[in-house]
Structure 1
Amino acid sequence: MKGIHYLDGRRLARAITAGMLQLQNSREELDRINVFPVADGDTGLNMAHTAQAVILALAESPSRSAGEVAQSAARGALYGARGNSGVILAQFLHGLAEAWEDKARLDTRDVALGLKAAAESARNGLSNPREGTILSVMSAVGIGALDVSPEGELTALLSAAREAADDAVQKTPEQLEVLRRAGVVDAGGAGLAQLLGGIEQLVRTGRGAEAGEFAGAARALAGTAHAHDLGEESEFRYCTECMISGQDLTPAGIREEIQPLGDSIVVAGGARIVRLHIHTDRPHEVFAVAQEHGEVSSEKADDMHVQFALLNGSRVPIGCDSGADIPAELVRDLRITTAPLRIHLGEQGYLDELGLPADWLWRAMEDHGERAQTATPPRGDMERVMGFLAGHFPESVWITLAGAVSGTADVSRSVASEMTGGKVRVVDSVNVSIGHGLIVQHAAEWARQGAGADEIIAALPPLLEAARTFGVIEDLSHGVRGGRISPRIKQLSDLLKVDALLGIGRNGTVKACGVQRRSGDRVKRFARYVLKRFPTHQPLRIAVAHANRPESGQRLHELLVESVPNLVSSYVTELGAVVSAHAGPGALLAAAIPALPVRPAPETRAA
């Protein structure tokens, strides 16, 4: 491809693919220097994922038209974009596609004007553009490309663009204080420089970048410190994204609507497809705004505070799905990584908890009679979370919702086996809700004490065996509809005017344990029932969950706490949507596990 003056569809597809492969080769270094906007160590992973989506889209595009190839690349990026830099890159490609629309071939001037338009498009996609970021590098590329003679060869233009990118990347610490303090350059900008370097090398030499090649931009000022130790935690907790598909979408209008909900806002795309990115504490409100504009898909909300904490001191991360009901403060304090399951309410799907808060679910079920259903999480959700763990830690432990009641355990095992090279070890909790949560809490405390993955996994079986979880259900109709409870149990409950008592069997299945009268003090009666079945002779951890009955939940917690002589810890929390969908509003759960040491006592080991 030496001495060329134009790019047709095939040449453009090869060039973009080469650039994206070079970007993927840079993943680890980009993760290492990632400190802005959040030091969560995933810029390389996010940009590599976006690049992969572009590569796959181009592989499926046989067009000879440069404009159509650019459209395919932009569409692939929008669907596959992850993270702040990934969505900005998608908007950059969208700008290129708009500039090159209806062009079968691109000459040097077309490419230069396209790069300038793409930089402006990316900047316009942000609510608060910052210098010293990938935006500064994009702007420098656009200006550098226009300085080349429009009559010249494309190799000269692409060399000028790459050099402008490298220079701009090295200047980012002068523009952004957090980069200067950390001694690194902007990771997103460095990724763009890699992409352009891969394109320029292919056009100049006819070959793509080799794995491991890395231009000076990303290494400049990288230093030897682990960048995350010098970064800052985000003001907001969740890195939230989704796709919106519809007609006559207005990215600028959507961006304005979500402006009050957070920062790091990027809204990329056009009239039919939009990719939304925001850092927020209210993902459910962001998704609600998105639903007003079209069909919402690819929702995600990653906990940046937990990621930041993990990267600053954790040895063995503990993870679980959202079937485990654990108070938010414990999740953060113990650095527990979570993957949200999926809930369907009517025709609409939601992320558990983050997309559908428990009070929204209860109101829909109690006030409007809507039916809630749970669903096995998409494989991509697990791949994203486990990929983060495997990319940063040599070992971690993932504890799933009981495999007997959900396909989540199977998905988790499959992803861990195929995608993490054995770095993520999966254990079935054989429990649900707060029983599952207590097991995860105990494992996370073992990890904080310094236990390794092998030790934690070896210590879990007696804990799983001894765990006890019970529930009292006001309305069994929700469980019957979901197939978790036999219709005969409901018929008997209604006939005798009693509440059903349910428990988790040793294999993780839900089973009927008995009944209690609906009249009188049902909370006290339930407390007496579970205390007879808790192993109160040994140190215990207990937990209580309620479905829209906070007073009853608090009272049950108080009754249990005052009756357990060897209490190590306890908590009361809302019953999550996963179990609420089947138990219904009014349900109360109580769980207990023994407080076991992860290692034998020193004298025992010596013996």
Structure 2
Amino acid sequence: MKDHLTVKEFISAFDSGYSLVKQLQDDINALNVYPVPDGDTGINMSLTLESVVNEIRKMEETDFSEVGHALIKASLSGARGNSGVILSQILKGFGRVLQSTDGRRLSLSNFILAIVEGKKTAYHAVIKPVEGTILTVIRKISERIEAKTYYSFEEALHDVVEVGWQTVLETPEMLDVLKKADVVDAGGYGLYVFFEGFRAAVAGETPKPHQVTQRVSETFISESGYGEYKFCTEAYFKSDDMDFEYAKNFLSSQGDSIVLGQEGGLWHFHVHTNEPFLVLQEMGKFGELIQVKIDNMAAQVEGRFQVEEKPFAVVAVAPSPKWAELFRSIKVDFVVLGGQTMNPSVGQILDGVKHVHSNKVYILPNNPNIILSAEQVRELTDKEVVVIPTKNPAQAAVGLSLYFGVEDPLDVFFKQILDHTNFIELTRATKDSYVDGLDVKAGDWLVLWDDQLKAACSRWDCVLEALQELTKNSDYTIASIFKGVDAKEQETRTMKEFFASLGMEVEEYDMDQPFYPYWVLVEKS
């Protein structure tokens, strides 16, 4: 019987808990109805735990204080989705106790204290705690082990999993949506599974989790929908200036399912909202956004039961919700929201590859700064991944919209598209600078042609003159104008008139991308 754990034993037990969650992630996904029935709770909890395991596996020769520090940082940076972010807060509380543990032995009393601290941290981070969820499971476990006296880890962990399982069974009586769907809570079950894996490793046994046969019905999903808010939005960021109360109140004004975690200058927030970019813009004022994740929950709910294997699938990066909607309308299977200043991580793109129902996946990064991340995904999956080096969403949209009844593979077809188009970016300079031989003043219009700065203009008529110079003597037939959030009616009208005067067919799209009032794709015949 063990009255302490070594660092090696703790890491092995944590790894066992993660492995069991990963093994049963589809069962956990199948229970997912709250807060949104998007079917990804198991995946999100597995990915959150994976980020921690990848960090602490290499720390067997260190002491618990270093393991605690790594656990906190990895859980904050790797948290995914509502249940994953709440789980990260439980782990953060756990890590705080480990940080204060001297040496390489974790006592039973400190282990119990760590679970209690995990419960406190999670309840503090969730702005409006709801019972019948993962929160209830950790609370009931905490209350039991804090109230009893234990003499071994085996004894304490027996109670942890017993109370965890009994609480999971009780969740439908606490949360009406679970009762209506005839399932137990997915996040709570995932936490129980983790602790069973942990317990078995400590006891030297094979895990024997209670398995659930319940599944959310397609009828229930179609009737319940995704709720009031469409986008699951979260970010991991650095800030020494953010105030917890301000952040809590701001996020509360923008949506629900809010989880807000902090450790020193590191923060992670999660919110369901209809204005993801407004949320990111406001939170980004106070520091540096490191990782951003935005999921369209409506699309996830609608696609939950669409499991037919496809010959190929497409994952695309979109800089705004409107771009995401456009991509979905032209058969993109998974959209990763992100772009300029909010580049998605390798992990986020990999999530998309994992979600789609095909063993061949095309990735459209749609930004020069995202191409490398997309390339790295190829090394992290057994699926065949082909990166089409699109540098902007306009190229992707035009190419995908024309890809019907074409025999060539998508990447071959796109090469032809890219060879017959040029891309114009119109944006404003934010500071004085000297670039590519041009003297740029803050507020100037910048005219970029295929990523190269060609003109800096203080007046709009100068912009039109630059466009005249760039497009002269070329057989362009179509100009597609994609308007950003800062586009102005008069500027749009005069630009449309300009392209029409050159004999081009002009198409206009209101896309709300940030930072760039105008993107224009000109196509040759």
Normalised by the shorter chain, which TM-score bucket?
A: 0.7 to 0.9
Please report how far the alpha carbon of residue 512 of structure 1 lies from its aligned counterpart in structure 2 after TM superposition: 7.8
Aligned CA distance change for structure 1 residues 31 and 475 (closer, same or farther; 3 Å) = closer
Task: Classify the secondary structure of the residue corresponding to 1:170.
Answer: helix
Deviation of 1:261 after TM superposition, in Å, equals 1.8
- Rounded Cα–Cα distance in structure 1 between residues aligned with 2:380 and 2:169: 34
Question: Which position in structure 2 is the counterpart of 1:168?
Answer: 167
Cα pair distance change 1:519/1:113, threshold 3 Å: closer
Match of 1:427 in 2: 388
Deviates more, 1:254-263 or 1:65-74: 65-74
Residue number in structure 1 paired with 2:261 = 268
Structure 1 residues 277-329: Cα deviation after superposition (integer angstroms, max 9, x where no partner): 22223344434554565554223333333434444558565333347996565
The C-alpha deviation readout for 1:496-515, integer Å capped at 9, x for no partner, is xxx999866xxxx76989xx
Residue number in structure 2 paired with 1:278: 271
1:301 partner SS:
strand
Query: Residue 3 of structure 2 corresponds to which residue in structure 1?
Result: 5
Normalised to the residue count of structure 2, the TM-score between the two structures is 0.78
Amino-acid identity (%): 20
One-letter amino acid matched to 1:26: L
2:353 to 378, 389, 399: 389
* Counterpart residue type for residue 419 of structure 1: L
For these two proteins, the number of residue pairs brought into alignment is 511
Structure showing greater radius of gyration is 1
Residues 1-21 of structure 1 show CA distances to partners (whole Å, capped at 9, x for unaligned) of xx1223344433332232223
State the alpha-carbon separation in 1 of the partners of residues 431 and 109 from structure 2: 64
Tell me how far 1:236 sits from its aligned partner: 2.5
Please name the residue that 1:571 is paired with: 508
TM-aligned CA distance change 1:178 to 1:420, over 3 Å: farther
Aligned-residue CA RMSD (Å) = 4.7
Distance 1:481 1:421, change over 3 A: farther
User: Unaligned regions of 5+ residues in structure 2, if any?
Assistant: 440-444
Range with greater deviation from structure 2 (319-328 or 112-121): 319-328
Query: Which amino acid counterpart does residue 571 of structure 1 have in structure 2?
Result: E
Q: How does 1:362-373 map to 2 (within 5 A)?
A: none
- Match of 1:398, SS state, is strand
Partner of 1:604: none
Do residues 318 (structure 1) and 314 (structure 2) align? yes
Residue equivalent to 2:36:
38
Partner of 2:120: 120
Q: Does 1:243 align with 2:236?
A: yes
2:53 counterpart (52, 55, 76): 55
**Paired position in structure 1 for 2:489:** 550
* TM-score, normalised with respect to structure 1: 0.69
Unaligned runs of 5+ in 1: 344-349, 352-376, 492-498, 595-607
| Cα distance change, pair 62–45 in 1 and its aligned pair in 2 (3 A) | same
2:378 maps to 1:413: no
Give how far 1:142 is off: 1.7
Instruction: Give the whole-Å Cα distance in 2 for the aligned partners of 1:325 and 1:269.
Output: 28
Q: Secondary structure at the match of 1:203?
A: helix
Aligned to 1:533: 475
Distance 1:108 1:242, change over 3 A: same
Cα separation, partners in 2 of 1:143 and 1:522, compared to 1, 3 Å: closer
Hey, what's the Cα distance between the residues in 1 that align with 2:239 and 2:374?
32
1:135 match: 135
Q: Please list the CA deviations of residues 409-430 of structure 1 after superposition, one character each: whole Å capped at 9, or x if unmatched.
A: 3442342x2223335433234x
Q: Which residue of 2 aligns with 1:355?
A: none
Change (3 A) 1:526 1:552: farther
Matched ranges for 1:407-486 at <5 A: 408-415=370-377, 417-429=378-390, 432=392, 434-443=394-403, 446=404, 456=410, 460=414, 462-466=416-420, 468-469=421-422, 471=424
Moved more, 320-329 or 160-169: 320-329
Residues 501 and 300 of structure 1: is their aligned pair in 2 closer, same or farther, counting only changes over 3 Å?
closer
Q: Which residue of the partner structure matches residue 300 of structure 1?
A: 293
Taking the aligned partners of 2:120 and 2:272, their CA distance within structure 1 comes to 22
Helix, strand or coil for the counterpart of 1:268?
strand
Q: Taking structure 1 as reference, are residues 543 and 131 closer, same or farther at Cα in structure 2, changes over 3 Å only?
A: same
**Aligned in 2, Cα 1:291/1:519: closer, same or farther, shift over 3 Å?**
closer
Secondary structure of residue in 2 paired with 1:428: coil
Gap change, CA 1:283 and 1:153, over 3 Å in 2: same
The answer as to whether partners of 2:108 and 2:152 remain within 8 angstroms in 1 is yes
Q: Distance in 1 between matches of 2:396 and 2:86?
A: 38
